[in-house]
Structure formats: structure tokens, C-alpha cells
């Protein structure tokens, strides 16, 4: 469990020599966003395709003792790339200036571990727009700079909504995107309707709405660290993130809040562990409101040997009725996503 005070001073800073901008987009917001990025990164933009690339060298600070890059580090890069391209698109036409806020992260698969010394390339592209939301699909590629070998490590889908800079509670309309084929728009609409249904299920389960959040990358990274601690304590081996189920943002986390991040194991298969992670916010400064649930998600981890081979996972012992119920629900998600993964990952396996 982690407790973190979200203070206004806790903003990213980067030294000017740590970033190279290959092509800077026109809106002023993007220049500010680039200055706020952290680490040794390169950003590339392709305006015609509404896509961008974020490139970063993986340092020892990004990885665990076994040399595997933390899943939270990758999640943070994925969100940053998505926020940049979606905010840029939402400001591509004259109108009220806005910033794209993350509303939902679809399931994210970690196809292969990334290691210290490799270069991560995060490619984000807008694939669908509704009246008030933007779908961004992200792929992560790792490169061994010694051998030149490359491999796809991650794939994710994120949904953003544009919030007015004058009133962050006001959701603006999204400029339409041009599709090369009619089928692309139809497929995007199907994905949009599907995620709306899944958000409705989340609302019914948690009793709340889904709110867009600005700059959630730090929170997502901390959630992965907490889940990793739970997984490591369970199997006592090197562990890596295998996938992240939909990350839902139930309430906004305001400045001055203390957030408590907790995780609990809900299900184990022969070679994987599911950990449910919660982020609770405690607004103790000038706020009479009690602690509330801000974010929730399911993380899946696998256990690895020193050679990087999958190891059997100790089975989770359930005692109470609630634990048994959560185990069965986790088993259902495991079987469902296992079937879907075989379909979605076939194109990636051919790359």
C-alpha cells in the first residue's frame, strides 16, 4: 500500500538538453506539454496521419533488480503519447482551447518484457472520434541497440475527452477525423459502442460514473508498483506485468488530496496472478468530503525464472465467501480474455 500527497509542486521537470523535438506541432499547449515530459525522450509527429512517436532509452531506474522494465513505466509513456496526440487533434480547429483528459484505458497486453539498455518506441495514432471522445491506439516497440533486434512489447487502446482550459468540468466537441476507408469508421463505431457498454457495467458494479482525468500517468505507474509488490510477495520470484484490464477513473483526484493505493490478489491460474488495485483519495485540505474511490483496475502478472522462463504460480488459498466469489469472478475474466487474446494477438505475432 502506498500513500502519496498530490501537491501542486509535484510536476515533471526536464532539463532542456534531455529532449530533442523532431517536429513541433503548432498549438501552444503542445509546447507546454513537451516541456513537462520527463526523461531522455524524442517526440516525432506526422500531422497528416494524426500520429506521434515517443522514443526513450530504458535506464536502471526504470527496471526491477532483474533488469525488467516496470509495467508502470510503459503505462506512463503510453498515456503521455495518447494525451499529446489527442490534445493536438482536439485543438486542430478554431475554437475554445482544451486539453485531452484520459477517460478509460482498455485492456493492455505486455507481450514481451523490456530490459535495461533497450530503446522503447511508443507509437500513438487516432483511430476513431465520436462527438465528444477520441480513441487512440498505441503500440510499443523495443529495440536492442547492440544487435538491432526489434519486437512488439505492448498494445493498448485509450479513450480521451476534451476538457475546456477555461472550465475543466466542461466537455467540448471533438473535430471529426478523416478515414481512408468507410470500414474503418464502422469498426471504430463498434469499438466505441462496446466500451460504452463496458463503462456502464463498471458504473453498475461500483455505483459511480467514469470521469476524465488529466495527467493520470503517475497514478497508473504507482498502481503497477503496488500490484507488483503483491505479486512478488505471493510467489517470491521475479515478476513482470502480463496485462492490465480496463483502468477506470471514477472520480477526479484534486490537488492536496492524499491518495492510498492498495492491492489484493483475486485469482491465480497455473502461470498467472490477477491483482485488483484501488486508488482512494482523502481530501483533507479545505474539503469536508470523506475518502472516496478514485481509480480501479485489474493487473495480471507472471512469474519468471532467472533465465526469463515462465514459472508455475502458487495457488491462491481462499477462505471467506467474498474471497471465493472474487476468485470465481477472476476465473471468468481469465477464461474470457484468454479467448479474446488469441484473436487479437495473431496480427502482432506475424510482425
Give catalytic residue positions.
64, 224
Cell digits of residue 344: 487479437
- Between CA 46 and CA 52 the distance in angstroms is 6
Residues contacting 322, CB < 8 A, separation 6+: none
Q: Which of helix, strand or coil describes residue 127?
A: strand
Residues contacting 307, CB < 8 A, separation 6+: none
- Between CA 205 and CA 218 the distance in angstroms is 25
- Between CA 249 and CA 211 the distance in angstroms is 6
Tell me which residue of 106, 127, 139 sits closest to 50, measured CA to CA: 127
Tell me the three-class secondary structure of 3-65, residue by residue: EEECCCCCCCCCCHHHEEECCCCCCHHHHHHHHCCCCCEEEEEEHHHCEEEEEEECCHHHECC
Residues 213-244, buried b or exposed e (16+ Cβ, 10 A)?
bebbbbbbbbbbbbbbebbbebbebbbbbbbb
CA-to-CA separations, 131 to 102, 106, 177, 249, in angstroms, rounded: 16, 19, 11, 20
- Between CA 98 and CA 275 the distance in angstroms is 35
Cell digits of residue 66: 532483474
How buried is residue 92: exposed, middle or buried, by Cβ count under 10 Å (0-12/13-18/19+)? middle
CA-to-CA separations, 232 to 239, 247, 278, in angstroms, rounded: 6, 21, 18
Amino acid at each position: 500500500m502506498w500513500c502519496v500527497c498530490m501537491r501542486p509542486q509535484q510536476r515533471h521537470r526536464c532539463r532542456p538538453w534531455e529532449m530533442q523535438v523532431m517536429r513541433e506541432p503548432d498549438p501552444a499547449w503542445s509546447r507546454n506539454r513537451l516541456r513537462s515530459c520527463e526523461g531522455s525522450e524524442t517526440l516525432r509527429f506526422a500531422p497528416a496521419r494524426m500520429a506521434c512517436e515517443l522514443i526513450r532509452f530504458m535506464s536502471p531506474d526504470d527496471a526491477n533488480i532483474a533488469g525488467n522494465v516496470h509495467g508502470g513505466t510503459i503505462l506512463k509513456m503510453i498515456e503521455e503519447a495518447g494525451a499529446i496526440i489527442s490534445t493536438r487533434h482536439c485543438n486542430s480547429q478554431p475554437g475554445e482551447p482544451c486539453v485531452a483528459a484520459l477517460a478509460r484505458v482498455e485492456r493492455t497486453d505486455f507481450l514481451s518484457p523490456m530490459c535495461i539498455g533497450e530503446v522503447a518506441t511508443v507509437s500513438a495514432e487516432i483511430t476513431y472520434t465520436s462527438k465528444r471522445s477520441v480513441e487512440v491506439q498505441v503500440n510499443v516497440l523495443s529495440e536492442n541497440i547492440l544487435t538491432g533486434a526489434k519486437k512488439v512489447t505492448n498494445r493498448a487502446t485509450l479513450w480521451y475527452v476534451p476538457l475546456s482550459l477555461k472550465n475543466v468540468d466542461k466537455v467540448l466537441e471533438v473535430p471529426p477525423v478523416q478515414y481512408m476507408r468507410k470500414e474503418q469508421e464502422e469498426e471504430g463505431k463498434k469499438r466505441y459502442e462496446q466500451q460504452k457498454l463496458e463503462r456502464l457495467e463498471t458504473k453498475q458494479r461500483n455505483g459511480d460514473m467514469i470521469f476524465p482525468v488529466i495527467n493520470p500517468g503517475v497514478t497508473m505507474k504507482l498502481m503497477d508498483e503496488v500490484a507488483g509488490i503483491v505479486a512478488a510477495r505471493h510467489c517470491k520470484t521475479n515478476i513482470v506485468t502480463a496485462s492490465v484490464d480496463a483502468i477506470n477513473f471514477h472520480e477526479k483526484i484534486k490537488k492536496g488530496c492524499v491518495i492510498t493505493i492498495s492491492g489484493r490478489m483475486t485469482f491465480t491460474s497455473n502461470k498467472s496472478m490477477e491483482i485488483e488495485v484501488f486508488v482512494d483519495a482523502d481530501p483533507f485540505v479545505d474539503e469536508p468530503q470523506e475518502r472516496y474511490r478514485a481509480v480501479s483496475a485489474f493487473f495480471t502478472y507472471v512469474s519468471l525464472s532467472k533465465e526469463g522462463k515462465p514459472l508455475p504460480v502458487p495457488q491462491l488459498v481462499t477462505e471467506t465467501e467474498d474471497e471465493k466469489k472474487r476468485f470465481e469472478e477472476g476465473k471468468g475474466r481469465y477464461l474470457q480474455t484468454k479467448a479474446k487474446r488469441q484473436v487479437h494477438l495473431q496480427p502482432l505475432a506475424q510482425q
